Structure 1
């Protein structure tokens, strides 16, 4: 792993050359934000790195790209610095190092470990005998009481929310902005609109971005949409299920036409299509356009999303069978592993990129670097 000082020097060199050239100023928000600065501090470069969408348009247009002696490669430089910022902002910091290398292996091992822990917990409560060979009528709570499941996932969720909030606080504190700067509604409207539409993956003239190679394509944006909205639909399924249980007194299992099931099915399908497409594009990506050492971290998140979706859909299909117990434990183990890795893997890029988009919107409104 390169030292942070080396990454900063590399990114500063690239931005200095780009600021003198300015050929790519209309490509993405990084270049207008760059032009609002005369010098580049470490904090500025971390911000620009998280504002970069790694579309690689600038790499293929750059007259100073390798093999030129200036060796300007903004996408790769920003990708390396962006990954460094994930480790820098992570809370608690030591956990981030678990997924620095061999992220895919670590995440799969974590999923297996979580599954084993659940099996042991069920065995200690005398429920292992009913795990296989018994009909439960699709009732998950016959195997694991609702309060136990809610307490387990609720506790993990609280930790994850805290870890993400602490990471974002570190990101925002480094920007030099105070908490009051987060209250600009117009800036949030602009940032959320850009994030929800993936505006900066449309490319110049709505032709798509140059990913995975130098030819324009919309597929990266489409697969991101499947993934993001699939994830949000699965979250909506959980929220509506919680609303049904605690406020309406409607206890699971729910009918296939209920909102929790419909949201879950649509979200699950989105999380099968999106991550699979992103996996394919990453395998085809031009090695010059990114940091190959992050592939394990990227693939870990993609794999856990895809496995969570697949195991959830299989669980729903076979919920009336005797395999319900084993399928439930496998699904919950994978989902727990996904949750635990959220603040320390590729998921956080969405959080910090939203923060960078918001800061960029603030700067545009102020007409300067702020």
Structure 2
């Protein structure tokens, strides 16, 4: 025990004396915590962070960003750590990592000005965009001739929707792509091979590291474990993919098969969209429920309004989208369609800067970890 205390003291001195003048306070805290963890090594079997940490003796800024995004915030290490608060070392890996993760989304965002704006007022920006775009579409509808049909294109012509959503979707893909490219060039100068890509892809698809390292899931404030956080993430992830598949299928129907919307309730685009909408109702609602009751030490409480704003956009998107097929012959169809389209546009505009970015950055971190594992072997 005395030897361990001596090692931890040396680690703290090393962390304090690092050329860490380049590190901000959140990054310096991660470096300090990891130096202590490197001396202790008790948690190295919990997730990918700790075996990756043991490959390093010092932690520069790139390593800190990499390990912070590799962390899945399962909370297992906090509850196992003998140096967690109220101990004088006050090691809180989930909180320190969450703060750096959020900073990394801003640091590598493209364009940087939008990343900084969303970082400082993410909830306000998301809700203002959704409300403003929905109001704009409602005004467009009010200026158009009155219609009473179940065809969405009678309210908003196809060329108008394509002209609005094409640039928005393209911008989201471009901004996310350039952001993660900046992140990857910062954390990993090496190229990935196919086995590493497959390994990382499996970890992403199964949310492997949301099992707490022991297969029982994330840790609650009462020290109990649950797999529900992993399950709700699965509903959200695959719900989003199903909605995206519905959009791609409908695009193929329209341009390749010459079959314009609306489609029957039993058609493939509608079935995929409904399945995705249900997933995006169950998943975000469950994550919001867990978020509301999670221990404040599990992550950064200052980010919760932004996290909940993103969840709210997902819920509004799925709820309004699911109502559309059943409101086709209702007088509220046009208004409901305008609200749905406004929320979807706001969601895609903010995707590269908010909570959604964590999935992209974490996938890149998992790919780097898959490469490191192969190099170590």
TM-score of the pair, normalised by structure 1: 0.93
Q: Does 1:169 align with 2:178?
A: no
Instruction: Decide whether the 8 Å contact of 2:141 with 2:334 is kept in 1.
Output: no
Instruction: Decide whether the 8 Å contact of 1:241 with 1:260 is kept in 2.
Output: yes
Per-residue deviation, 1:119? 2.8
Give the Cα separation in 1 of the matches to 2:173 and 2:213: 36
The residue aligned with 1:82 is 101
Give the Cα separation in 2 of the matches to 1:237 and 1:76: 37
Per-residue deviation, 1:208? 1.3
The residue aligned with 1:48 is 67
**In 2 relative to 1, CA 168–213 (structure 1 residues): closer, same or farther, beyond 3 Å?**
farther
Instruction: Decide whether the 8 Å contact of 2:23 with 2:61 is kept in 1.
Output: no
Instruction: Decide whether the 8 Å contact of 1:244 with 1:251 is kept in 2.
Output: yes
Give the Cα separation in 1 of the matches to 2:80 and 2:55: 22
Q: Does 1:269 align with 2:282?
A: no
Give the Cα separation in 1 of the matches to 2:266 and 2:161: 24
The residue aligned with 1:185 is 194
Per-residue deviation, 1:72? 0.8
Instruction: Decide whether the 8 Å contact of 2:172 with 2:349 is kept in 1.
Output: yes
Map of 1:229-308 to 2, 5 A cutoff? 229-308=238-317
The residue aligned with 2:111 is 92
The residue aligned with 2:168 is 156
Q: Does 1:6 align with 2:25?
A: yes
Give the Cα separation in 2 of the matches to 1:81 and 1:362: 23
Give the Cα separation in 2 of the matches to 1:141 and 1:174: 45
Give the Cα separation in 2 of the matches to 1:326 and 1:356: 42
**In 2 relative to 1, CA 34–276 (structure 1 residues): closer, same or farther, beyond 3 Å?**
same
Deviations 1:273-296 (A, max 9, x none): 110000010011100121001101
The residue aligned with 1:197 is 206
Residue 287 of structure 1 aligns to a residue in which SS?
Answer: coil
Q: How many corresponding residue pairs?
A: 356
Instruction: Decide whether the 8 Å contact of 1:312 with 1:331 is kept in 2.
Output: yes
Give the Cα separation in 2 of the matches to 1:220 and 1:331: 27
Q: Which runs of 4+ in 1 moved over 4 A?
A: none
Per-residue deviation, 1:103? 2.7
Residue 278 of structure 1 aligns to a residue in which SS?
Answer: helix
**In 2 relative to 1, CA 213–169 (structure 1 residues): closer, same or farther, beyond 3 Å?**
farther
Deviations 1:92-136 (A, max 9, x none): 11112332244333312210101122233445xx41x52xxx421
Give the Cα separation in 1 of the matches to 2:67 and 2:174: 25
The residue aligned with 2:40 is 21
Give the Cα separation in 2 of the matches to 1:94 and 1:204: 38
Per-residue deviation, 1:361? 0.1
Q: Does 1:113 align with 2:166?
A: no
The residue aligned with 2:235 is 226
Q: Does 1:351 align with 2:360?
A: yes
Per-residue deviation, 1:213? 4.9
Residue 352 of structure 2 aligns to a residue in which SS?
Answer: helix
Residue 346 of structure 1 aligns to a residue in which SS?
Answer: coil
Residue 53 of structure 1 aligns to a residue in which SS?
Answer: coil
The residue aligned with 2:87 is 68
Give the Cα separation in 2 of the matches to 1:206 and 1:12: 28
Give the Cα separation in 2 of the matches to 1:105 and 1:259: 36
TM-score of the pair, normalised by structure 2: 0.92
Give the Cα separation in 2 of the matches to 1:150 and 1:64: 55
Q: 1:214 aligns with which of 206, 220, 223?
A: 223
Residue 322 of structure 1 aligns to a residue in which SS?
Answer: coil
Instruction: Decide whether the 8 Å contact of 2:239 with 2:278 is kept in 1.
Output: yes
Decide which moves more: 101-110 or 35-44. 101-110
**In 2 relative to 1, CA 166–73 (structure 1 residues): closer, same or farther, beyond 3 Å?**
same
Residue 343 of structure 1 aligns to a residue in which SS?
Answer: coil
Per-residue deviation, 1:177? 1.2
Per-residue deviation, 1:224? 0.4
The residue aligned with 2:350 is 341
Decide which moves more: 301-310 or 204-213. 204-213
